[in-house]
Every structure is written in C-alpha cells, then in structure tokens.
Amino acid sequence: MAFPTTRLRRLRSSPALRALIRETELSAKDFILPLFVRPGKAEKRPISSMPGHFQYSVETAVAAAGAAVHAGIPGLILFGIPDKKDAKASGAYADNGIVQKAARAIKDKYPNLLLIADLCFCEYTDHGHCGIVKDGKVLNDPTLALAAKTAVSQAKAGFDVIAPSGMMDGQVAAIRQALDAADRHDTPILAYAAKYASAYYGPFREAAESPPSFGDRSTYQMDPANFNEALREVALDVEEGADMVMVKPALPYLDVLKAVKARFGLPTAAYQVSGEFAMIKAAAANGWVDEKKIALESLLSIKRAGADFILTYYALEAAGWLA
Ligand code: PBG
Ligand code: ZN
C-alpha cells in the first residue's frame, strides 16, 4: 500500500515508538578492548595518535583490565611490544614473552574476563613484517611453524581465544593442529579472515612499534579493491577450522562484513581499527563533529551490517556513553 495510506513517519512520531521498533541495539557487551603491553614497571606511555590509549607494563595493564571489567566489557585483545626484536620473532612464542606475562597477571585477577591473543609477528620481528623474511620476501610455510608454536604458548599462558592476524595461507589449520596436539581442543580460533592491506592501520604501527622496515604488506594482506576474494579467504578459514571470523577494517568494509555474515553465518567480528578511531578523535578535537554521536553511529552501523562483536578503541568510552 502506497502513500497516503502508508506513512512511515507514523512509527517515528514518539521516542517510545521509535524505541519499540529499533532494529539494532548497542551495549558494552558488544565490545572488545585492545591493549598494548610493553616491558617495564608502572609504564603508561601515551600513544599520540590514539588519545586515551597507552603502552602499559604488566601491572598497569592489569589496572586497565579492571576498568574494562567495571565498564561491563567482556574481553580484551592484547598486543605486545617485546624488549628485543629479531629475525625469528622469538618474543612471540617465549613462555615469558610480554603478552604471556600480561595474560597470566590479568587472568590471575580477572579470571572471567575473556582474553584474546592477537597472533602475528610484525611486533616481534626486527624488520616489522608478519612472518619469516628471506631475500626480501615473506615466506609462508616457515611462518606457519612459528604460528603453531606461538598459539600453544599463548593458550598455555591463559588466553581464551587465539586470533591469527598474519594473513599467511594455512595459518588456521596449522594453529588448530598445534592446539589439538597440545590438548587444547577447547581453545577457539578467531580468524582475521578478511584483513585488508589498509592505510587505516597507521596509528597502530606507532602504538605497536611495528611499521615494516621495507615494502608494505600487500603480498599477504588483501587488496582493498577485492570483494570476492574476501569470501574465498573466509571459506578457507572456515574449512581449516576457524570458530569465528573477522573482517578488518570495519566501516570502509561493511559490504564485506554483511556478505560474510550472510554467507557463512559464523560468529563474526569486525575490527574498528586505529585509523578509524584516530579520524574521529582528530575531527572531534577540532570541533568539527560530535564525538559521542559519531562514534556511536559508527559502532551501531558496524553492528547493523552484521557484526556480532566489535574490536574497538572506543570500547571504554562507548560503554560509558551507553550506561
Ligand atoms: C598485526 C595487526 C595489525 C593490526 C592488528 N593486528 C597491524 C597491521 O596489520 O599492520 C591493526 C589494528 C589497528 O590498526 O587498530 N598484523
Ligand atoms: Zn602482523
């Protein structure tokens, strides 16, 4: 029935009616907070391009975890800045590595807070690439062996979920096999399945001190131009045993997110990355946008497009706004 019988404005006429028919609802339970951990004591070094975010040492990371718990946030994803970087990314799978230590300390105090381990090597290699490099090339299969070791080390340290983000072919299968062989059948894998070679990661590379020292990541991360390839990436990760999948970045890739959720029906995450966060912060600092409204609209849109949960640097602030 068309106008004038049908008038869509009828259901917009009061706050109560609008609330009754609202299709998407955001809450603190939707958010995962990323934290950066470095060696040291009582460190809380500001990350200049990510206002409100810091490189923490273990004790201050535990305090930040406490703030997340009190805000009703269900989990954290941890990134490590090791004291030494080398060609083999030793710090990534050292049993006393920085994220392993942080995970033990956080779990000790907050056993019910979910801890997700980002599994990648760019923070741990001296060249800043996400794998083993030889003759200027990032080698796929030798990197898988390190990924397998790292996953087991992370699970033993208390991480609840392993999230491989290196975009190496076969990484999910390699990790699943290693976890099972170590009797960690119950540790789920959240695959960064469709991860694009994105300029939106700029601020993160300052935060994690991980910019590649030569070239870029386009031989392993995806071309922003490609959509069908993202579906192939996700299909492979699902076949290899991914329990959950992720699309990253979030807002510029809502088409991909929506299709991944519709096609595979798996629990699906989206990562609102550092550049998405920094752009809102910068515009808000200039008085050009309303930070609270634009941040919540972005998060709502990511959820509306199909995300079951969102990794976001706005987790704490958004939880506060929604409370
Ligand atoms: C590691 C990793 C990156 C991000 C998450 N895991 C950086 C990269 O791929 O260069 C980016 C997150 C962000 O920008 O917030 N590979
Ligand atoms: Zn990486």
* pLDDT by position in tens, the chain (length 323): 999 999 999 999 999 999 999 999 999 999 999 999 999 999 999 999 999 999 999 999 999 999 999 999 999 999 999 999 999 999 999 999 999 999 999 999 999 999 999 999 999 999 999 999 999 999 999 999 999 999 999 999 999 999 999 999 999 999 999 999 999 999 999 999 999 999 999 999 999 999 999 999 999 999 999 999 999 999 999 999 999 999 999 999 999 999 999 999 999 999 999 999 999 999 999 999 999 999 999 999 999 999 999 999 999 999 999 99
pTM strictly above 0.85: yes
DSSP letter (8 states) at residue 291:
H
pLDDT of residue 76: 99
DSSP structure string for 11-69: GGSSHHHHHHT------GGGEEEEEEE-SSSS-EEE-TTSTT-EEE-HHHHHHHHHHHH
pLDDT of residue 265: 98
Does the active-site annotation cover 248?
A: yes
pLDDT of residue 12: 98
pLDDT of residue 263: 98
For 184, phi then psi, to 5°, come to -110, 50
- Number of residues in the chain: 323
Ligand 1, CB within 6 Å, residue ranges: 118, 120, 122, 130, 165, 201, 204-205, 217, 273-274
pLDDT of residue 16: 98
Does the active-site annotation cover 303?
A: no
Tokens 């796929």, located at residue: 140
CATH number (3.10.129.10, 3.20.20.70, 3.30.70.3170, 3.40.50.2000) of 26-322 reads 3.20.20.70
Ligand 1 atom closest to 204 (CA): 14
Please pick, among 85, 101, 195, 261, the residue that the annotation labels catalytic: 195
Q: Where are the domains of the chain?
A: 26-322
11 Cα: distance to centroid of ligand 1 (angstroms): 42
